[in-house]
């Protein structure tokens, strides 16, 4: 098995990454956008393949997420983001994490799967935890 | 980032919590209700927002879960409980864990998502593992 | 609580198992079948309850998975395998892992849940990581 396919991972590193993503996604789903955006570095970038230009810096990231959260609230939609199946690749002082992310929506009709994506992050250390320097989210497409 | 939003977590603590929930949910889905209920403290409480009064103590918890399991069996329904995105907050000797939980049902029509919930537990130490002293499950509602 | 229901788990063991499965499933979903199959021992077995005879050894495992991946590509289907809720039971030098696994499919109609299964693996140590000596996947059935 190649190291490229299966990098070794330290337990404390993985635990802190898991906790980071759980807190990050719960904040998003609660609409606490400023707290959620504080998980990015001040100059962090957030690219989504459906948008031509990535958001750069917390102010742009907050503006974009606030638009989405406002629209969802107007439509009566609650979301639940599940991020998992994370492959963690330490490199120098940062880590690259490639994860799957599912978005569930709860509407008057009940819960339903809305989107299946991959999420690739570059995380940099911040005290005992992490900040996102770069995020790229890609919608999963048919083969 | 505030400590409130993103508490530090020890790897061994997180590992034991993960293993605890995996074993707990597999027992429930296998219908092994007494073994599943042994993950609560003898005086543990289990509140679900759809019921007016929480179950108190293992006997009540077993009685309620047995009714559900019996009904599902009569309807030919298998369930799979996925708990994840857990934020673990140590406090004194206990830990608070706020998780998302999805319930999948398998019927003759195949598998389908049945419910999306949050699960808030207070866990107390029990040897090298945990027991649930308080559980509150809330159905996710439209915004 | 019995040790049978709730085995203790070491954080580094769990971290390496999590990373192993994440890398393994991402390779499968990318169609990198030889890299994916290198996570089995050379004489590893892969049994699926819908097939009468298990695949034995990497060549058979690769052949079976290649057929599936080719068919899915012809039908324009992307898959995402989520494995989780893993109960890890160390025994001697190997570990038994019983997990839930969900298969999502992405087609022109969007993402949808395709299958809910259990996956029981016997993992043997390989340097700092693992190889699968035996895998049994069972489709979840109605009660």
Question: Structural domain tally of chain C?
Answer: 1
Give the strands of the sheet with C55-56, arranged side by side: C55-56, C40-48, C129-139, C110-126, C94-107, C78-91
- Give, for all 143 residues of chain A, the pLDDT tens digit: 556 677 889 999 999 999 999 999 999 999 999 999 999 999 999 999 988 899 999 999 999 999 999 999 999 999 999 999 999 999 989 999 999 999 999 999 999 999 999 999 999 999 888 999 999 999 999 99
Which residues of A fall within a CB distance of 8 Å from C44? none
- Give, for all 143 residues of chain C, the pLDDT tens digit: 556 677 889 999 999 999 999 999 999 999 999 999 999 999 999 999 988 899 999 999 999 999 999 999 999 999 999 999 999 999 989 999 999 999 999 999 999 999 999 999 999 999 888 999 999 999 999 99
Query: What does residue B11 show for φ and ψ, rounded to 5 degrees?
Result: -60, -45
Instruction: Work out the minimum CA distance from B48 to partner chain C, whole angstroms.
Output: 22
User: What's the Cα-to-Cα distance from A4 to each of B138, C20, C24, C35, C119, rounded to whole Å?
Assistant: 41, 12, 12, 10, 25
Which residues of B fall within a CB distance of 8 Å from A71? none
With CB atoms and an 8 Å threshold, state whether A129 touches B8: yes
Secondary structure in 3-state letters for A10-65: CHHHHHHHHHHHHHHHHHHHCCCHHHHHCCEEEEEEEEECCCCCCEEHHHHHHHHH
User: What's the Cα-to-Cα distance from B55 to each of B27, B60, B130, rounded to whole Å?
Assistant: 19, 5, 19
Residues 6+ apart with CB under 8 A from A34: A62
- Note whether C41 and A8 are within 8 A (CB): no
- Among C residues 24-83, those touching chain B with beta carbons less than 8 Å apart: none
- Both tokens assigned to A32: 């606490």
pLDDT at A7: 85
User: What's the Cα-to-Cα distance from B83 to each of A82, B115, B137, C140, rounded to whole Å?
Assistant: 10, 12, 12, 18
Does residue B4 form part of some domain? no
Does residue C43 form part of some domain? yes
Closest residue in chain C to residue B10, using alpha carbons only: C11
With CB atoms and an 8 Å threshold, state whether C143 touches B18: no
Instruction: Work out the minimum CA distance from A50 to partner chain B, whole angstroms.
Output: 25
User: What's the Cα-to-Cα distance from A70 to each of A30, A33, A61, A66, C101, rounded to whole Å?
Assistant: 12, 11, 14, 6, 34
Closest residue in chain A to residue B142, using alpha carbons only: A107
Instruction: Work out the minimum CA distance from A19 to partner chain B, whole angstroms.
Output: 6
Does residue C81 form part of some domain? yes
Q: Which of C5, C15, C140 is closest, CB to CB, to B80?
A: C140
CATH number for the domain harbouring residue A120: 3.10.450.50
Task: Inform me whether the C-beta atom of residue C125 falls under 8 Å from chain A C-beta atoms.
Answer: no
- Among A residues 7-26, those touching chain C with beta carbons less than 8 Å apart: 7-15
Closest residue in chain C to residue A114, using alpha carbons only: C111
Does residue B6 form part of some domain? no
What are the pLDDT digits (tens) for B5-36?
Answer: 778 899 999 999 999 999 999 999 999 999 99
What are the pLDDT digits (tens) for C95-115?
Answer: 999 999 999 999 999 999 999
| Domain range enclosing A45 | 11-139
Strand A55-56, strand A94-107: pairing? unpaired
pLDDT at C2: 54
- Cα separation, B103 vs B80, in Å, equals 6
Does residue B2 form part of some domain? no
Long-range contacts of B98-101 (CB under 8 A, 24+ apart): B98/A26, B99/A22, B99/B21, B100/A26, B100/A80, B100/A82, B101/B137
| Pairs of residues, one from chain B and one from chain C, whose beta carbons lie less than 8 Å apart | 95
Does residue A4 form part of some domain? no
- Both tokens assigned to A52: 């031509």
With CB atoms and an 8 Å threshold, state whether B87 touches A16: no
Mark the ranges of chain B whose per-residue pLDDT is less than 70. Answer: 1-4
* ipTM of the prediction greater than 0.85, yes or no: yes
Does residue B69 form part of some domain? yes
Does residue A41 form part of some domain? yes
């Amino acid at each position: 098995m190649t190291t490229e396919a299966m990098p070794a991972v330290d337990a404390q590193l993985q635990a802190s990454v898991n906790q980071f993503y759980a807190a990050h996604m719960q904040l998003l789903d609660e609409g606490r956008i400023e707290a959620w955006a504080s998980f990015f570095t001040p100059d962090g970038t957030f690219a989504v393949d459906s948008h031509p230009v990535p958001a750069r810096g917390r102010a742009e990231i907050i503006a974009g997420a606030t638009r989405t959260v406002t629209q969802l609230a107007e439509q009566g939609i609650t979301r639940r983001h599940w991020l998992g199946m994370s492959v963690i690749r330490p490199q120098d002082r940062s880590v690259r994490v490639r994860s799957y992310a599912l978005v569930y929506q709860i509407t008057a009709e009940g819960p339903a799967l809305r989107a299946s994506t991959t999420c690739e992050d570059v995380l940099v250390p911040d005290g005992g935890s992490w900040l996102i320097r770069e995020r790229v989210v890609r919608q999963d497409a048919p083969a």
